[in-house]
Amino acid sequence: MVARPIPRPVRPVRLTRNRAVIALAAGVLLLSLFGYMHGAYGHGDIDLYRRYALAFWSGPHPFHALPAEYPLLALVPFALTLLPGPGDSVTVFGLGMLLLLAAGYVAVRRRESARTAEVCAVYLGLGCFATVLGRYDLVPAAAVVVAYWAARRRRFDLAYGLLAVGTLLKLYPLLVVPVVAIEQFRTLGVNPLRLRPPREVVRGLAIFSVAVAGGFALAAVLDPSRWLGPFSFNAHRPLQVESVPASLLWLTGLAGLPIAADRSFNSYNLVGRASELIGLAATLALVGGCLLVYWRQLNRRLGFGRALALCVLVVICTNRVLSPQYLVWVLPLVAIVEGDYDLVWLAVCALTTAIFPYVYDSTGLRGEPMPAQYPLYFPALIAVRNALLILATVRFATRPARLRAREAAPARSVPSWRA
């Protein structure tokens, strides 16, 4: 009697659905590139990037005109706007970001899973419709994700170098360096609180420090008047209307304190009597939130990936500015750590795109003189989105760790802290 071969399991439904979802996400991004970004207001930041690139690379004083608010390395992705290619600078820049996004999708699919890559693509397409291809934030976000992968494979020197590149692109990766250092201590089985850190950690931190210091030193030589621009520009900004602190300020307006709309620093803002107090509280919350993340990671209450993503979330939630492209920083990390869809995150993404660009356009603010007050529905919808963002952050921090096997496996093989 001849045994019949056992048929291989076939999963055409899942494969078809995955392809359909990715095709939909790609269609949404192409609609953004050739529809929204070529509209009346979709290319504003790209025009700004082009002006900065022209001033630096071929202006009256070549190589000596730095951007007012961006670090030195930001001029590298800005240079995309100067390349010859199909159509105008908007198309060239958007296609460049689309290629980076496609490469990121392939990398996530290979290093994580097809499901994770799908979730990442959907989150970015839904939540960053108007910004993922129209801003350069995908570049520092990619640097942080690759640094996470490098540290997970214990290639810490590479991770520190990538975080230095990210910091010279958009500053915020500076605050995740302690998360990588704590993970390196953990893999070495060494207590991070001991007085003398091991040479490996010192070397990695030196790589980061020298690279970042060298980048800002070069900026100081090139343009002494603007080398600290990324810090000074942001330090003087009022509360941007989409930020969590601005939503708190709006609530004080409902309680009777005076507030007003403001247009400055290339953004729409909210000012009022409680602005300084709320801004100070937000700064303290940023410092305290990051320290809490580091402490929980030290006590093994947070895995490496979750601590990294949570640190970025703290930065986003406490920042004086919450531009819609900031979600690009964290959505890939959330998808990688969680590995599946989350309804709250989907709601945050949908509301973010509803606010920008569609509610912005419906208010009639762009291209018009600034009114004394925003329409009530505008800050109200932002407050709802921010409340969901805070909820998503708290759930991400406190839910029982559904850590992936690749995060849990090294933890089982690492010895306990040595004094």
Q: Tell me the pLDDT tens digit for each residue of 158-205.
A: 999 999 999 999 999 999 999 999 999 999 888 777 667 889 999 999
Between helix 177-188 and helix 138-152 the angle, nearest 10°, is: 10
The C-alpha atoms of residue 249 and residue 251 are separated, in whole angstroms, by 5
Domain boundary among 102, 136, 170: 136
Instruction: Report yes or no on 14 lying in a domain.
Output: no
Instruction: Report yes or no on 281 lying in a domain.
Output: yes
Answer yes or no: do 207 and 246 share one domain. no
Closest residue by Cα to residue 49 from 132, 124, 134? 134
Answer yes or no: do 244 and 365 share one domain. yes
The C-alpha atoms of residue 175 and residue 212 are separated, in whole angstroms, by 13
Answer yes or no: do 261 and 339 share one domain. yes
278 and 248 in contact (C-beta within 8 Å)? yes
- For the record, the structure tokens of 144 come out as 């942080």
Answer yes or no: do 296 and 411 share one domain. yes
The C-alpha atoms of residue 238 and residue 203 are separated, in whole angstroms, by 39
For residue 239, the cross-strand partners are 270
pLDDT number for residue 327? 98
For 11, counting Cβ atoms within 10 Å of its Cβ (0-12 exposed, 13-18 middle, 19+ buried), the class is exposed
Helical ranges in 112-243 per DSSP H: 114-127, 138-152, 156-170, 177-188, 199-222, 229-235
Answer yes or no: do 108 and 154 share one domain. no
The C-alpha atoms of residue 254 and residue 261 are separated, in whole angstroms, by 14
Answer yes or no: do 145 and 127 share one domain. no
Answer yes or no: do 93 and 143 share one domain. no
pLDDT number for residue 413? 45
Closest residue by Cα to residue 316 from 168, 144, 67? 144
- Residue 113 is part of which domain span? 21-136
Answer yes or no: do 292 and 388 share one domain. yes
Domain boundary among 227, 251, 268: 227
pLDDT number for residue 414? 45
81 and 89 in contact (C-beta within 8 Å)? yes
State pLDDT tens for residues 39-66. 888 888 999 999 999 999 988 888 989 9
Instruction: Report yes or no on 5 lying in a domain.
Output: no
Q: Give the number of residues written for the chain.
A: 419
Instruction: Report yes or no on 15 lying in a domain.
Output: no
Instruction: Report yes or no on 11 lying in a domain.
Output: no
160 and 208 in contact (C-beta within 8 Å)? yes
Domain boundary among 208, 227, 246: 227
Answer yes or no: do 216 and 122 share one domain. no
pLDDT number for residue 418? 41
Answer yes or no: do 368 and 341 share one domain. yes
Residue spans of the chain under pLDDT 70: 1-16, 85-87, 194-195, 367, 400-419
pLDDT number for residue 400? 53
**Strand 239-240 with 259-264, pairing:** unpaired
pLDDT number for residue 62? 86
Instruction: Report yes or no on 13 lying in a domain.
Output: no
Answer yes or no: do 260 and 388 share one domain. yes
Answer yes or no: do 253 and 390 share one domain. yes
Q: Considering its fold, how many domains does the chain have in total?
A: 3
Spacing of C-alpha 22 from chain mean position = 21
Instruction: Report yes or no on 67 lying in a domain.
Output: yes
Instruction: Report yes or no on 151 lying in a domain.
Output: yes
pLDDT number for residue 338? 94
